[in-house]
Structure 1
Amino acid sequence: MSDKPQTAPVSDSPAHFPGPIRWLARIEIWAGTVFFWLIFFGVMWQVLGRYVPAIAWVGAGEVARLSMVALTFITAGYLIGKNGHIVIEVFDAILQGKRLFTVLRVFAAVVMVITCIALAWESLLMIEQGWRRVTTVLHMPIAVLYVFAFIGFTSGAIHSIAKIFAANRPEPKLDISEMEG
């Protein structure tokens, strides 16, 4: 036995979040990875098409652009849940360990819930209107992009609600290595 005092390890993983929230985060990472690869292949196809005109396809650029928009929206909830969004950390250092710290976290999460619900509602309204307009090359309805926005902002609201109930626990940190596979 060692003379060092035994302390419980502090984990940055969101183990205190319910299973469905952890599964939602896994699905968002998976979907984000798919869209990332679509961006990559769309851009690479464009580059190859410049040098081999026989395989040039105008839709490759549109696939890459639309995938970038979808990636941005679909990972919004994940980034909110993992604190990958912009945060003012000055208050964290000043209020650490005080009751007001938990109040500040709850307030920030409530603001995020309200914001995400408002954006999800607007996305829903845009989905209703966007079926008539289509993209130039693929002729995909613009409403599909707003479906991704709706999913992302709804997910952000869910993650923020979970953060309200976990405000007095250590927050998970965004760990880039977990995105590597």
Structure 2
Amino acid sequence: MLTMVFALMFTQAVQRHLPVAGWVWTGELARYGLVWLAFALAGYLVGRDEHITLKIVDLFLRGRALRTVWVLANLVVAAVAAGLVLDAAELVFGGSPQRTPALGVPLSWTYAVPMAGLALAGLRALLNTLLPTPPALETRPSEEAR
């Protein structure tokens, strides 16, 4: 997906310096591709505990307290993802007659990738609550090694 976005943006940049008519759809597809990439990676990042979080709590809490905060944070992520999936499902299955300007793709189709990515993020967050420790802490050097 990242390669596709790069190739489309490169094509769009090259077209600006050539004396030919440009393809308008390249910019539109690159923008959608970037959004799709972000939402498609959401589940992967939540599963590896590499999404945007405040890691300051990890420095001060240990054991059961850290696990409790981590489980609560994952439950919040799952709840937010579920709400966003419901809204995205309404947009996907709502049957809007609108189409994208350049490509003519039904606008409801463009919300399918964010819906799937957020559903996976919510599922991964729920599965994280079953893990004994956050994945990022498993790879962190121990206190004795410092």
Q: Structure 1 residue 158 and structure 2 residue 123: aligned?
A: yes
Amino acid at match of 2:135: E
The alignment of Structure 1 onto Structure 2 pairs a total of residues equal to: 137
Runs of at least 5 residues in structure 1 that lack an aligned partner in the other structure: 1-34, 174-181
Could you say which residue in structure 1 is the equivalent of 2:86?
121
Return the offset for 1:83.
Answer: 2.1
Segments of 4+ in structure 1 off by > 4 A? none
> Is 1:54 paired with 2:26?
no
Is the 1:109–1:161 Cα contact (8 Å) retained in structure 2? Answer: yes
Name the TM-score, length of structure 1 as normaliser: 0.70
Contact 1:77 1:155 in 2 (8 A): yes
Contact 1:113 1:160 in 2 (8 A): yes
Distance in 1 between residues matched to 2:99 and 2:64, nearest whole Å: 51
Per the alignment, in what secondary structure is the counterpart of residue 53 of structure 1?
A: coil
1:171 counterpart = 2:139: no
Alpha carbons of structure 1 residues 129 and 59: separation in structure 2 relative to 1, 3 Å: same
What secondary structure does 2:100 align onto? Answer: coil
Q: Deviations over 1:64-104 (max 9, x none)?
A: 111111111111111111222221112111112x2111111
> Alignment partner for residue 146 of structure 1, among 91, 111, 116?
111
Question: 1:20 aligns to what?
Answer: none
TM-score of the pair, normalised by structure 2: 0.86
